[in-house]
Chains A and B, each alone.
Chain A
């Protein structure tokens, strides 16, 4: 081999192989073939760093095919490049990509638009049907509250459906890929449910039949089959068809759920769908997606919500009723308490310290003179029942006119023919009439110590007439004083059933006067007619009523034959509350007359 002079400058190896010395010659003889191979490899290396596009283009398709068939690495490696290339292309001229993919997405878009229009139509039709019903107005309110369109709310309430079965079908053979069935219908279908593969085959056959019979375009397919209340909706994918058997009226939006399930089936089991050989066990993994299609919408929920509303309304109404009833009761109780306070304050010998009403019970704290009416009478006259009242009475001594007089009468026990009177202004207790010497003496001793009495003025005369006549007079006077008449409320009329009492009163009075006339000592007899009223009404009215009752009673007795000169209507002073009753009674006063010449006590 001959060395290039240029090479010899730059290549020490070449220089070293020149057979200039015997050693070099020997070396050249031994290593020449290897040296030539090294030189050739060097030349190839230089050539490959300069590789031309043409030779790559020649092998690229084969290389890509080989790489794709072996693994997905090539796809993964190229994906970012392809994505950025697509982005760039769209930025530069979107029409190119649009035109390219239109055949794929055009059909999908037109179908989506068609379904959206149908859905709108469905909503509108339901909305029209329910616009003016009472329920419609309720839904209208719900639409306002939730912000949803009215038509959507109507649709939501109107639709009742149940997806009973879902079949996943191999599009070519009609073989069953998977089948799920709603629990609600599984029992009732029984054996038929097991023959799902026959159903899917027949369904596929019918589809083929329809397509072939009417010569529709090859990709067109049956969307739904309707028989009575049952509808079969079909959704097609490249390698599987989803058929859902629906009972009732379902919203078109349900199709989106089916479509989504079908997409998931394809995503997770694409290879198995592509190479399906008839074994359903291979596709068990897609069952959950099919089960998600077993949707149910029942109006039962609405009923539940209606009953919930009913319960709520009942609670509200009942609460309202009780609150209102409570308010009414409270008001009523407050009025009763005010009335009771007024009545008690009118009562002589009773002082009201405190009155309240807690938890439906009345609580009273009072002072009571022992001459005043009994505790229960005080409460009942005030309109309060014992079982609803807690009253605590503390004893005290009253200086009221009526009370002092009553106390004096209790202590002195004046006999018939003696009349006691008390003047609250100066505290003087007076006695008039005739009585025994013993009583006059007894009264003079006791009267000054009666509580409220400052002074005793004794006008009572000792009894003059002979004992038998006097006893007869006293007996008659007692009989007359025992008589008492009752009046109707707010009236001068007597209550019924007192006719015989009237006759007896007239007879007793005539007899009394006859006896007195027989007495020669000239006794002066006066029959005082006292009348009273209850505490109801104003004091002025009651005072007038008392006057009328006394006058009327006197007049009637006069008409019946009693000497009117001996009758004297007496009306208690307004402040005298000794007796609160719708009654009239009599008091007989016997005094020694001016004509009397006998010794008068």
Chain B
């Protein structure tokens, strides 16, 4: 069995935990998020002919009161940066977190998940902004933890990126 550690990063209340909950079987309660600052879930899937176990580290959302503990990031094979389309500042935070992670871990595969696409009419993040990000190398997917749209695809994409990376 192959295991991969993926960290979910993003601002407070962008929907990281909800996305994970949509995708996985949980063993621990969400209470850990507020106590230890991280909650870990697994998702088992088959990739090619390999059995894969994704360890999803759902980190407490970073805001002005709490910083992401960088020690949680160690050993990660991939990042899922989550932003809320209704709050433009969460995109900035995602970029900041990506930079911070790359600084401590080096280049690892990452995806930006623009969550809450069920609320697309209320989005304040402009398509132009996202296009620019895409041009600068960001891979972006639209998701909705509420409807489940794009959730499975997001996790499968980051898996493919990680496994492809490993094969390099």
Residues of A within 8 A of B (CB): 170, 172-176, 192, 195, 197-198, 201-202, 205-206, 208-209, 211-212, 277-281
Q: Is A202's CB under 8 angstroms from B40's CB?
A: yes
* CB closest chain-A residue, reference B32: A202
Q: Please list 29 pairs of residues, one from A and one from B, whose beta carbons are closer than 8 Å in the complex, sorted by A's number.
A: A170-B75, A172-B74, A173-B5, A173-B55, A173-B74, A173-B76, A173-B77, A175-B5, A175-B55, A176-B3, A195-B42, A197-B53, A201-B57, A202-B38, A205-B38, A205-B40, A205-B57, A205-B72, A206-B36, A208-B71, A208-B74, A277-B2, A278-B3, A278-B4, A278-B77, A278-B166, A279-B1, A279-B2, A281-B1
Question: Which chain B residues in 55-78 approach chain A with CB under 8 Å?
Answer: 55, 57, 69, 71-72, 74-77
Question: Does B15 interact with chain A (Cβ within 8 Å)?
Answer: no
User: CA A202 – CA B59 in complex, angstroms?
Assistant: 12
CB distance from A209 to the nearest CB of B (A): 5
Which residues of the partner chain A approach B28 to less than 8 Å between Cβ atoms? 198, 202
User: CA A170 – CA B55 in complex, angstroms?
Assistant: 13
CB distance from B117 to the nearest CB of A (A): 29
Question: Does B109 interact with chain A (Cβ within 8 Å)?
Answer: no
Question: Does B37 interact with chain A (Cβ within 8 Å)?
Answer: yes
CB distance from A375 to the nearest CB of B (A): 96
B78-120 vs A, CB cutoff 8 Å, 1 = contact: the mask equals 0000000000000000000000000000000000000000000
User: CA A211 – CA B36 in complex, angstroms?
Assistant: 12
Other-chain residue from B2, B27, B71 in contact with A212 (beta carbon distance below 8 A): B71
Q: Is B27's CB under 8 angstroms from A205's CB?
A: no
Q: Is A209's CB under 8 angstroms from B69's CB?
A: yes
Question: Which chain B residues in 1-42 approach chain A with CB under 8 Å?
Answer: 1-5, 27-28, 32, 36-38, 40-42
Other-chain residue from B1, B27, B36, B55 in contact with A174 (beta carbon distance below 8 A): B55
Which residues of the partner chain B approach A174 to less than 8 Å between Cβ atoms? 5, 55, 75
Which residues of the partner chain A approach B77 to less than 8 Å between Cβ atoms? 173, 278
Q: Is A195's CB under 8 angstroms from B3's CB?
A: no
Which residues of the partner chain B approach A192 to less than 8 Å between Cβ atoms? 27
Q: Is B5's CB under 8 angstroms from A195's CB?
A: no
Known: A174-B5, A175-B75, A212-B69. A198 touches B55 (CB 8 A): yes
Q: Is A201's CB under 8 angstroms from B40's CB?
A: yes
Which residues of the partner chain A approach B76 to less than 8 Å between Cβ atoms? 173
Chain B contact residues: over half helix, strand or loop, or mixed? mixed
CB distance from A175 to the nearest CB of B (A): 5
Q: Is A209's CB under 8 angstroms from B42's CB?
A: no
Q: Is A278's CB under 8 angstroms from B2's CB?
A: yes
Which residues of the partner chain A approach B27 to less than 8 Å between Cβ atoms? 192, 195, 198
Q: Is B75's CB under 8 angstroms from A209's CB?
A: no
Which residues of the partner chain A approach B37 to less than 8 Å between Cβ atoms? 209
Which residues of the partner chain A approach B3 to less than 8 Å between Cβ atoms? 175-176, 197, 278-280
Chain A contact residues: over half helix, strand or loop, or mixed? helix
Q: Is A198's CB under 8 angstroms from B1's CB?
A: no
CB distance from A144 to the nearest CB of B (A): 51
Question: Which chain B residues in 40-57 approach chain A with CB under 8 Å?
Answer: 40-42, 53, 55, 57
Q: Is A205's CB under 8 angstroms from B36's CB?
A: yes
Which residues of the partner chain A approach B4 to less than 8 Å between Cβ atoms? 278
Known: A176-B3, A205-B57, A279-B2. A198 touches B42 (CB 8 A): yes
Which residues of the partner chain A approach B75 to less than 8 Å between Cβ atoms? 170, 172-175
Which residues of the partner chain A approach B32 to less than 8 Å between Cβ atoms? 202
Which residues of the partner chain A approach B36 to less than 8 Å between Cβ atoms? 205-206, 209
Known: A176-B3, A202-B28, A202-B40. A277 touches B166 (CB 8 A): yes
CB distance from B158 to the nearest CB of A (A): 14
Q: Is A201's CB under 8 angstroms from B5's CB?
A: yes
CB distance from A222 to the nearest CB of B (A): 13
Q: Which 4 A-B pairs have the closest CB atoms?
A: A173-B75, A172-B75, A208-B71, A201-B40
* CB closest chain-B residue, reference A280: B1
Which residues of the partner chain A approach B74 to less than 8 Å between Cβ atoms? 172-173, 208
* CB closest chain-A residue, reference B163: A278
* CB closest chain-B residue, reference A201: B40
- Of listed A170, A195, A205, residue having the most chain B CB within 10 A: A205
User: CA A521 – CA B4 in complex, angstroms?
Assistant: 150
Which residues of the partner chain A approach B42 to less than 8 Å between Cβ atoms? 195, 197-198
User: CA A176 – CA B75 in complex, angstroms?
Assistant: 12
Which residues of the partner chain B approach A206 to less than 8 Å between Cβ atoms? 36
User: CA A178 – CA B5 in complex, angstroms?
Assistant: 16
- Of listed A195, A201, A279, residue having the most chain B CB within 10 A: A201
Contacts A173-B5, A197-B3, A205-B72 known; 8 new A-B pairs at CB < 8 A: A173-B75, A174-B75, A197-B53, A202-B28, A208-B71, A277-B2, A278-B2, A280-B3
CB distance from B6 to the nearest CB of A (A): 10
* CB closest chain-B residue, reference A170: B75
Which residues of the partner chain B approach A209 to less than 8 Å between Cβ atoms? 36-38, 69
* CB closest chain-B residue, reference A175: B3
CB distance from B41 to the nearest CB of A (A): 7
User: CA A277 – CA B165 in complex, angstroms?
Assistant: 11
User: CA A55 – CA B53 in complex, angstroms?
Assistant: 56
User: CA A278 – CA B3 in complex, angstroms?
Assistant: 4
Which residues of the partner chain A approach B69 to less than 8 Å between Cβ atoms? 208-209, 212
CB distance from A180 to the nearest CB of B (A): 15
User: CA A209 – CA B74 in complex, angstroms?
Assistant: 13
* CB closest chain-A residue, reference B5: A173
CB distance from A325 to the nearest CB of B (A): 69
CB distance from B94 to the nearest CB of A (A): 22
User: CA A1 – CA B40 in complex, angstroms?
Assistant: 87
CB distance from A151 to the nearest CB of B (A): 39
CB distance from B111 to the nearest CB of A (A): 19
Q: Is A197's CB under 8 angstroms from B38's CB?
A: no
CB distance from B75 to the nearest CB of A (A): 2
CB distance from B37 to the nearest CB of A (A): 6
- Of listed A176, A202, A277, A278, residue having the most chain B CB within 10 A: A278
CB distance from B64 to the nearest CB of A (A): 19
User: CA A252 – CA B38 in complex, angstroms?
Assistant: 31
- Of listed A174, A192, A211, A212, residue having the most chain B CB within 10 A: A174
User: CA A173 – CA B76 in complex, angstroms?
Assistant: 6
* CB closest chain-A residue, reference B53: A197
CB distance from B65 to the nearest CB of A (A): 15
* CB closest chain-A residue, reference B52: A278
CB distance from A199 to the nearest CB of B (A): 8
